[in-house]
Amino acid sequence: MTYRTTRVALVAFVAITAGSRALAQHPAMPPGMTHEEHLAQMKKDAEMKARGAEAMGFDQDTTTHHFRLTKNGGAIEVGANASGDTAGRDAIRAHLKEIAGEFANGNFEKPFMTHAEVPPGVETMKRLAGKIRYTFTRTNRGGVVRIETGDAAALRAVHEFLRYQITEHGTGDPLL
């Protein structure tokens, strides 16, 4: 193989590899969505990730969020994707500990900053703050905020808030 042949083969390999990675990073267009709607959704998602990184203090692409609904409330779970990402883990823990305290005081500024709108359920959660308990616990890769209530109206609001988070963050967590 000559130098020129090797160089052409290498350039072709790099082009194919880069192209396939670029395609892999571009999410498939959902059925029933126009190309313009898909582009708008991708733009909205990118903007939310950027605002989320600012509000939360950690990279949204190197972490995984889960929002769980339970019979008496739910949970917000965040973990670093890589087990050795101690900086990410520590940033997650600091954020979730802060969120538990802020939510308990009726402060939902961080979700507003992330989503650029007030998430559903927030106004009721603020009004019924004394009937909802927020508890932060560390996990191996981050942490969890457990949200508990015995009040029916507060429970509906918590579930509404968590369903919104599941949908907006695209976590795939159950909505039931």
pLDDT digits (tens, 9 = 90+) for 138-160: 999 999 999 999 999 999 999 99
The fraction of the chain above a pLDDT of 90, given in percent, is: 58
Q: What is the pLDDT averaged over residues 130-139?
A: 98
Q: What is the pLDDT of residue 48?
A: 63
22 has a pLDDT exceeding 60: no
Give the Cα separation of 13 and 82 in Å (integer).
29
CA 22 to chain centre: 22
pLDDT tens digits, one per residue of 8-17: 444 444 444 4
117-to-2, 75, 132, 162 alpha-carbon distances in Å: 60, 21, 22, 15
Q: Where are the domains of the chain?
A: 41-169
- Find, among 119, 136, 137, 110, the residue nearest to 56 by Cα: 110
The residue assigned the tokens 């559903």 is 120
117 has a pLDDT exceeding 90: no
Q: What is the pLDDT averaged over residues 40-52?
A: 69
